[in-house]
Amino acid sequence: MYDILKTSVNGTHPLSFCDTLPGGPPPDPQDLWLFTDPVARAVYSHENRLDQLEHDICSYAMYEGRWAPDELELKHEIQRLLRENTLIPKGTFGHLSPHPTVYRAICGGALEVAGYRHHFGAGNDILFEPWLARASNAGLRGPVRVGRLQHTTRLCLCCEAFPRAAILCERALAILRQTRQNRRTDNLFACQRE
């Protein structure tokens, strides 16, 4: 997985902005921008491509205009870890839509999402992983990726990263989402990786 340094795309936007605040309100399941770093959103706006990002999030990250319960649970866990000063914003965001803020662990710990404990060590990166990317990576449990990310400068929409999914009708996408929830897909889009 890749992340983008905010300084490589930043104009006049404060680098300290992130998609989650430690004392923020409970996550809204219908908030389109819930997992989008404000700097990434500003980049799309500046490039007059905000409508493309909106469509991509609605079609390939959310389901029927809502975030899934396990994704909302991840947001709660990130808020908790920020309050406990276990995580800090890294100054990067994920290269893949919805371009979530990347957090850096300053000490070891764990977060629990959908019944799974995700352990991390000091220096690990933590970010939200959209369902379509999870469907293409065997072994990922839940909407979180823990590890070290590599830097890139290329923003990528889910429809670009997984072009075969972009040609599926809504019924086929619904079946794919349901299959992923039941954990019956492993490497479904493995051939789409870079």
pLDDT digits (tens, 9 = 90+) for 48-83: 999 999 999 998 899 888 999 999 999 999 999 999
pLDDT digits (tens, 9 = 90+) for 100-159: 999 999 999 999 998 999 999 999 999 999 988 888 777 778 899 999 999 998 999 998
Angle at 135 between CA 43 and CA 186, to 5 degrees: 150
Percent of the chain beyond pLDDT 90?
A: 59
Query: What pLDDT score was predicted for residue 67?
Result: 96
Query: What pLDDT score was predicted for residue 190?
Result: 37
This prediction's pTM? 0.84
Confidence class for position 193, pLDDT limits 50, 70, 90: very low
More confident residue, 184 or 135: 135
The torsion angles phi and psi of 172, rounded to 5 degrees, stand at -65, -40
Cβ atoms 1, 149 nearer than 8 A = yes
